[in-house]
Structures are given as structure tokens and as C-alpha cells.
Amino acid sequence: MSQPLEAGAVAPPTLDTIHNPFLEGPFAPIQQEITATDLVITGEIPRELDGRFLRVGPNPIDPGDPATYNWFMGTGMMHGVRIRDGRAEWYRNRFVRDDEVVAKRGGKPVEGPPHLGGGTRYLRSNTVNTHMFSQAGKTWAFAEAGVLPIEVTDELETVARSDFEGTLNGSWTGHPHRDPRTGELHGIAYYWDWHHVSYQVMGVDGRITRRIDVPVRGKPVVHDMALTEKYAIFLDGPVNFSHELQDAGFDFPYAWDFEYETQWVLISRDGTSSDVIRCSLPGQTAVFHILNAYDLPDGTVALDGVSYDRLFVNDRTGPTESPSKLDRFILNPRTGRTTVRRLDDRAQEMPRIDDRRTGSLHQFGYFSSRGDEGSQVLKQHVERGVTESYAYGPGKVGMEAVFVPRHEHAAEDDGWLMTYVSDLATQTAEMVIIPAQDIASGPVARIHIPQRIPLGFHGNWIPSEHR
Ligand SMILES: [Fe+2]
């Protein structure tokens, strides 16, 4: 296990943490669950689009003490827009019903197997707030760290907790990656009381078909992973579980451990827990989100990720203590070393690619950024070192942009970016559809939503034919 945290790690709340920025402005929770139909559209929705655009994010039904509330732990709320024949048929937002939501809003308890975390305070009532996927004809909200997935209906009503028909070992991930060749979902799960992480593969039938448990030195957060043709890869990094913070009542009991060496861990997709390679980094780095990774002809691996120099040293409310940068890591399995090259210095997050490129060379990445020009979407030409951008405008805040190809065989950037944009002045939102080959031209369609959508986490476009 790792060394004690640096002095001050369990510092008493400061004025800054009592004034919790993740409960205000674009993050402020909303309480109404609404359904709006036949939404007003500015522009034109491409006729090719038939499906649902779904997102989930933190929306605390009761944040409790602002000094201990962490953005990662807010009650999950889902937002969705149904698109068909050039129309936006509905917008819905619904809480992911967990025990706390049932207690406050009533209704029957959610059924299903128990969460690994049981009734502990850690993870606040087993919140499911991280991502939405469709697999095996079902729609799911996912979370990590011992919290079971929640199945929801096409219209975002909670169905039940699930352990994938008894095939899950108690912990899944908020960030699975779909292998475009097989349709399987690959994820790496962790839990604060485990001394390993669990690489798991969900088949197209919605059941876990493969599992490799890999020991880790500490109890790191493993929020995301990468998939190449050879490897499943995760960061064994410095943000580690802290019993002291858990005992002190913090919602997110993880802190930067200054003694913990950062390593990328490569798991051979065809191997066993003994076929694991560790590639050390020159310094300490946290990477919560990975854009993509792929195998290079010389046996190394290229991995693009959003990195931080320091997080969760003193601020327990969210990832605030260093800006996020875009880096390319080259992992060398022969030497056990990693080299790092900065691709872009701008603060950016929520990376997405054309998911058909998962595990293969990608030319483009799409990011959310908040800089001098306000909230914007970035299109990074990672091979050419060029960046395009589109700013949403004063008082507007955009979220993770999801790439949707124009058709199955379209080129890598031939399609649209979809996201939600909130207008803080009017307390409304829009779903925007932006042509990915010309993002500077702005949305071809803006679908008007009659309430603000709090800055959320992740989601997907779920085409009707893939249900
Ligand atoms: Fe995430």
C-alpha cells in the first residue's frame, strides 16, 4: 500500500470548499422531471438521424454538506432527446432512481441485486451518474467503483439494478469501450476494498464473457481505459483511496498520493493476469479520460489522454487543482517506459473520437473547452497538430460532444457532433447538431429544450437500428 498522504490532505474545509462551485452556475442541480414534446427547432435536423441522444450527469437531489460534496458523487439525472424524420419528438429528464431518490420522491424501491458497497456512506447511496450505453437491446446507465448498472426504458424510466444476469463480479465501469470489430464492451472495474482491478468484457448478449483480475499496488481510481488490438490499458496512478477521508465523511475519499509512481498497465487481451506489462511515467500524472490508443508497428502503443499534474491534494469538491492538457503517451512494452509529448496546452476535457476508430489510428478528437472565448468545442487534428473550434456564445455552456457518422462507411470526420448547450441567462438549453467537417460554421440544428441541463458527464447517440 502507498505511503501516507501529504500533510494537509484531510485539511478542514476552507471557505472555497464551503462555497462549492459544483453546486452553482452551470453545475447547479435542477429538481423537476419534465417531458416536452414536438420541440421547436432552429435549422434542420438531418433526415438520416433516427435515434435517441442520451446523457447522464450529477444532479444531487440533496447535496448534503457543501464542504464534503464532490461533483463526481451527485445523484444521476438522465436527459434524452428522441429524433426521427427531421423532428425532435421529445425531451425527457429523469433521475436514475437510487435509494435516495426513492426515499425523497417515493415510489417502489428499485429491484435487483445489491450493490457491492452495501449501505456504506461511500458513493452516496450508490449513485449511477456516469455514462449511458445500449447493448443487447437494453439501455443502461453505468457507474464505477462497486455500483451496479441501472437498466432504463427507452423513455428513461428506471427498470432495475443489474449484474448482467449474474455474470458481473459486483463492479463495472463508467467508461466501457466498444470494440468496433466485435461489438463487445470492454471495461476495467475497481472497488475501494479490492487490491486488484478487473478487466471484463461484455458480449453482444449483455453478459460478461471474459474476466482478468490484475493486482495493483494501491487502490487507484481507474475511471477510464483504452483498448488496442493487442491490449486493454489502464492508468495505475496517484489518485488513491484514503481511509482518512472516508472516515472524515468526504463523498469522494480519494486523494493525490505523492509517493505513488504512475504506471500505464497493459493487459494482453488474449492472455491471463500474468501477461501484464507496466510502463512507468517520468513523473506523476493523473489521466481520467483517454481519447484513444493503438498499436504501432514497432510494438509500442500510442495513447492520447487528458492529463493533470495535481488533483485532489486539498480541494475535495472536484478536479480543480491543475488545468487539463492533451498529451500523447508512447508506451514501450520492451523497456517498461513511457514517453510523453504535449499535443495541446489548452485546457480541455471530455474527449471523444469516431467510435469506429477505437483501437485504431485516429486523426481527429473532439473536446470540450472553457477558455477566454467561453465554452467551446474543439476538433483536434492530432496527426497534423491543427485545432478548429466553435464557441457557443456568451453565457452558454456546452458539454461532451458525441460524434455520429453520416453513414456506416462515412470517412472518419464525415458526420455530426451532438451535445447539449445550456444558456445560463434564460435557464434553457439546446441540443445542437454540428457538422464535424466544418465545426466553425456552427450547428445545422438547434433543438430548444425548456430547461437548463446541468453540466453533465457522458452519453451516446443510440440509433434506432442498433436497439
Ligand atoms: Fe468520465
b/e burial code for range 375-389 (CB count within 10 A of at least 16 → b): bbbbbbebeeeebbb
Span from the CA of 201 to the centroid of ligand 1 (angstroms): 19
Distance 127 CA to ligand 1 centre (A): 14
pLDDT of residue 188: 98
Half-sphere exposure at residue 17, Cβ-oriented, CA atoms within 13 angstroms: 22
Task: Tell me the CA–centroid distance for residue 348 and ligand 1, in Å.
Answer: 13
Distance 72 CA to ligand 1 centre (A): 9
Whether the CB-CB separation of 339 and 367 falls below 8 Å is answered with no
Q: What is the Cα gyration radius of the chain?
A: 21
Ligand 1 centroid to residue 404 C-alpha, Å: 19
Range name among 120-134, 168-182, 300-314, 382-396 with the lowest pLDDT average = 120-134
Give per-residue pLDDT as tens, 197-247: 999 999 999 999 999 999 999 999 999 999 999 999 999 999 999 999 988
Sheet of 337-344, strands arranged across: 226-227, 231-236, 263-268, 276-280, 337-344, 325-332, 301-308, 286-295
**With contact defined as beta carbons under 8 Å apart, do 304 and 328 qualify?**
yes
Q: For every residue of 32-98, which 3-state class applies, written as one string?
A: CCCEEECCCEEECCCCCCCEEEEEEEECCCCCCCCCCCCHHHCCEEEEEEEEECCEEEEEEEEECCC
Note the pLDDT tens digit of each residue in 145-186.
Answer: 999 999 999 999 999 999 999 999 999 999 999 999 999 999
What does pLDDT average to over the chain?
A: 93
Query: 117-143: per-residue pLDDT in tens?
Result: 755 555 555 899 999 999 999 999 999
145: left (phi over 0), alpha (psi -120 to 50) or beta: left
Cell numbers 457543501 label which residue? 66
Residue 57 C-alpha to ligand 1 middle, in angstroms?
A: 10
pLDDT digits (tens, 9 = 90+) for 349-358: 999 999 999 9
How do beta strands 301-308 and 286-295 pair?
Answer: antiparallel
Provide mean pLDDT across the span 306-311. Answer: 96
The predicted pLDDT at position 116 comes to 83
**pLDDT at residue 403 greater than cutoff 90:** yes
Residue keyed to cell 445489491: 114
Instruction: Give distance in angstroms: CA of 308 to centre of ligand 1.
Output: 14
Lowest mean pLDDT among 63-72, 383-392, 447-456: 63-72
With 60 as the cut, is the pLDDT of residue 10 above it? no
Instruction: Check whether 8 has a pLDDT greater than 80.
Output: no
Q: Ligand 1 centre from 456 Cα, in Å?
A: 10
**In the CATH hierarchy, which fold is given to the domain comprising 34-466?**
Methylamine Dehydrogenase; Chain H (2.130.10)
* Cα 289 to ligand 1 centre (Å): 6
Q: Which residue has the higher pLDDT, 16 or 274?
A: 274
Q: How far is the CA of 131 from the centre of ligand 1 (A)?
A: 8
State mean pLDDT over 32-44. Answer: 98
Q: How far, in Å, from the CA of 67 to the mean position of ligand 1? A: 23
- Domain ranges within the chain, ordered by starting residue: 34-466
Q: Is there a contact between 427 and 418 (Cβ–Cβ < 8 Å)?
A: no
Query: How far does the centroid of ligand 1 lie from the alpha carbon of residue 35, in Å?
Result: 27
CA of 224 to the centre of ligand 1 (A): 7
Q: What is the pLDDT of residues 325-352, one digit of tens each?
A: 999 999 999 999 999 999 999 999 999 9
Give the Å distance between the CA of 187 and the centre of ligand 1.
13
Percent of the chain with pLDDT over 70: 94
- How far is ligand 1, taken at its centre, from the CA of residue 223, in Å? 6
Nearest residue to 236 via CA among 259, 268, 261 = 261
At 317, the pLDDT band (50, 70, 90 cuts) reads confident
